[in-house]
């Protein structure tokens, strides 16, 4: 950039500035929400180097750490520092100031903003930022996208928004000189893959707390909005009304019925079993049946060890973590599938004992395929006596799957053109027709969405400038070929 008779060419347009502001405002609000969630803070700790675990990292700092990582990868492709476009450097500065609570777009007019890169301090700040570690991750997560990994692990509602923010920032950096080289295309694909498919360090249990601002009204409103679960929703509503009346009778000194809150969820994957279990915990808390209402998710690996004496310790730790809330055991029938020398039966006996000891402050929900769950419950008299509430989750209809896809897209600020929706619907109808026992339902929609936005990124990678309309619109070409896609998801006939 150089002065010509006192005139400074405007490298940063108002459109570019407003796009940055809109994207960052939304994602910074999400970060503030995450800072107040115990599940987020608990998931950060295992990814932090031991010597830095006393630092309380904010979500925005971890997010910016990923932004810097993307910038540094882009800088490597550019080669010399002088070849990094001014607009790319400005993005790094803009988001850094945002991290400090400052909004450049409101502090300065456009003329002043375009003068900022002319100062020697501008480049000094870029160098300082690039050398600063905003989060000290463990060696296993070096070169990985940290915040997408954390959000995926805790199944955060902000996963899509923050992941797409990172991919859009990567796209804006790469297109900051209005040109895209082959190396830059490859880099964008690599970054997109890391963000949308992050490396997740698997834990044996996942903990989801209940927000302080939560209420019974909020839970019931969320329940009503669930797609494709009409019978389950009706069952939960009926149970809630029953428990409300029981509490009123108790307060008036009247006799009440015995309330066994343990439940069996039967159905294929991706049909909302974990989501409903989480809601049940919140409902039980607000009605006064549980102290905390949090959800602890686990499976066989979280409760069964491979050595004598270890299963008791392992199972007890998981169960203790769930006291005051709901213990959700997915594919619970796996506890009985290990044969004669297996320790799964030991885990079941410990579970039954704790259910009795903590009968007033622990709810257990076991889940899995219908036939296997029926066999599992019948395998032990203790299980039969403690589980008498059954919820059936069925495969979603094609209409429900399309609605789920559109909800996922809307959360990520995407819209479908009419032609795109028609092609997508053709894929969904064929998938529904050929679905099999293990068909993933909502999970398949999430995977399909990720495939589609990756295709969109490849389509628009060479378009400059990138407008908001281009970024958010999914067209027919972004939807993959119908028969090939169905074959990839369902490689055999159901």
Per the rule left: phi > 0, alpha: psi between -120 and 50, beta: everything else, 53 is: alpha
Q: DSSP readout, 57-97?
A: --HHHHHHHHHHHHHHHHHHHH-SGGGS-HHHHHHHHHHHH
| 137 and 146 Cβ atoms separated by less than 8 Å | yes
DSSP state of 184: H
Residue 241's Cα: distance from chain center in Å? 31
- CA distances to 77, 384, 433 from 63, rounded to whole Å, are 22, 47, 41
Residue 454's Cα: distance from chain center in Å? 17
Q: Is 457 exposed, middle or buried (0-12, 13-18, 19+ CB in 10 A)?
A: buried
Residue 5 has pLDDT above 70, yes or no: no
Cα separation of the two ends of the chain = 62
Rg of the chain in Å (alpha carbons): 26
Residue 39 has pLDDT above 90, yes or no: no
Fold classified for 207-392: Rossmann fold (3.40.50)
389 C-beta neighbours (distance < 10 Å), count: 14
Residue 3 has pLDDT above 50, yes or no: no
E strand spans, 283-406: 295-298, 326-330, 363-368, 390-392
Three-class secondary structure of residue 56 per DSSP: coil
Going by pLDDT thresholds of 50, 70 and 90, the confidence category of residue 493 is: low
What residue ranges do the domains of the chain occupy?
Answer: 14-203, 207-392, 398-489
DSSP state of 205: E
pLDDT single digits (tens) 403-419: 999 999 999 999 999 99
pLDDT single digits (tens) 200-242: 775 566 778 888 889 999 999 999 999 999 999 999 999 999 9
| 266 and 231 Cβ atoms separated by less than 8 Å | no
Average pLDDT over residues 168-191: 91
pLDDT single digits (tens) 444-487: 999 999 999 999 998 998 887 888 999 999 999 999 999 999 99
Which two three-digit tokens encode residue 468?
């908001």
**Model pTM above 0.85:** no
pLDDT single digits (tens) 101-117: 999 999 999 899 999 99
Residue 258's Cα: distance from chain center in Å? 37
Average pLDDT over residues 138-155: 89
Strand pairing category for 295-298 and 205-208? antiparallel
The percent of residues in the chain predicted with pLDDT above 90, rounded, is 68
- CA dist 272 and 62 (Å) reads 30
- CA dist 179 and 463 (Å) reads 8
Going by pLDDT thresholds of 50, 70 and 90, the confidence category of residue 2 is: very low
CATH classification code of 398-489:
1.10.8.60
pLDDT single digits (tens) 342-387: 788 899 999 999 999 898 899 999 999 999 999 999 989 999 999 9
- CA dist 352 and 359 (Å) reads 10
pLDDT at 199: 83
- Selection from 179, 13, 165 nearest residue 85 by Cα: 179
């Amino acid at each position: 950039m150089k002065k010509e008779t006192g005139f400074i060419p405007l490298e940063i347009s108002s459109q570019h500035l407003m796009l940055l502001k809109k994207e960052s405002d939304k994602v910074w609000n999400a970060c503030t929400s995450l800072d107040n969630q115990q599940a987020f803070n608990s998931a950060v700790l295992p990814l932090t180097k031991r010597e830095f675990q006393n630092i309380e990292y904010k979500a925005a700092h971890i997010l910016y750490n990923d932004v810097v990582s993307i910038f540094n990868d882009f800088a490597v492709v550019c080669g010399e520092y002088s070849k990094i476009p001014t607009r790319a450097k400005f993005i790094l500065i803009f988001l850094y100031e945002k991290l400090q609570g400052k909004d450049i777009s409101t502090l300065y007019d456009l003329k002043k903003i375009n003068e900022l890169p002319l100062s020697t301090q501008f480049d000094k700040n870029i160098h300082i930022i690039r050398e600063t570690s905003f989060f000290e991750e463990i060696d296993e997560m070096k070169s990985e996208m940290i915040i997408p990994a954390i959000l995926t692990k805790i199944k955060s509602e902000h996963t899509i928004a923050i992941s797409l923010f990172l991919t859009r920032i990567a796209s804006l950096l790469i297109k900051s000189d209005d040109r895209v080289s082959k190396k830059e295309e490859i880099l964008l694909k690599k970054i997109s893959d890391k963000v949308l498919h992050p490396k997740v360090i698997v834990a044996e249990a996942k903990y989801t707390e209940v927000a302080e601002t939560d209420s019974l009204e909020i839970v019931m409103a969320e329940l009503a909005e669930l797609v494709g679960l009409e019978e389950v929703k009706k069952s939960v509503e009926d149970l809630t009304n029953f428990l409300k009346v029981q509490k009123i009778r108790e307060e008036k000194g009247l006799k009440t019925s015995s309330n066994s809150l343990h439940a069996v969820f039967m159905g294929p994957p991706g049909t909302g079993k974990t989501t409903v279990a989480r809601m049940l915990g919140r409902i039980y808390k607000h009605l006064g049946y549980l102290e905390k209402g949090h959800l602890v998710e686990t499976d066989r690996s979280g409760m069964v060890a491979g050595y004598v004496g270890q299963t008791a310790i392992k199972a007890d730790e998981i169960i203790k973590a769930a006291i005051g809330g709901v213990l959700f055991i997915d594919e619970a029938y796996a506890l009985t599938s290990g044969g004669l020398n297996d320790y799964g039966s030991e885990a079941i006996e410990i579970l039954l004992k704790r259910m009795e000891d903590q009968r007033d402050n622990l709810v257990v929900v076991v889940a899995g395929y219908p036939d296997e769950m029926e066999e599992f419950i019948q395998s032990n008299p203790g299980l039969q006596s403690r589980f008498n509430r059954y919820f059936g989750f069925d495969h979603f209809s094609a209409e429900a799957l399309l609605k789920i896809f559109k909800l996922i897209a809307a959360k990520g600020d995407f819209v479908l053109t009419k032609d795109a929706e028609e092609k997508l619907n053709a894929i969904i109808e064929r998938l529904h027709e050929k679905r099999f026992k293990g068909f993933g339902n909502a999970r398949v929609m999430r995977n399909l969405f990720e495939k589609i936005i990756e295709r969109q990124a490849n389509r628009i990678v060479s378009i400059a400038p990138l407008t908001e309309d281009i970024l958010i619109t999914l067209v027919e070409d972004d939807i993959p070929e119908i028969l090939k896609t169905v074959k990839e998801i369902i490689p055999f006939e159901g």
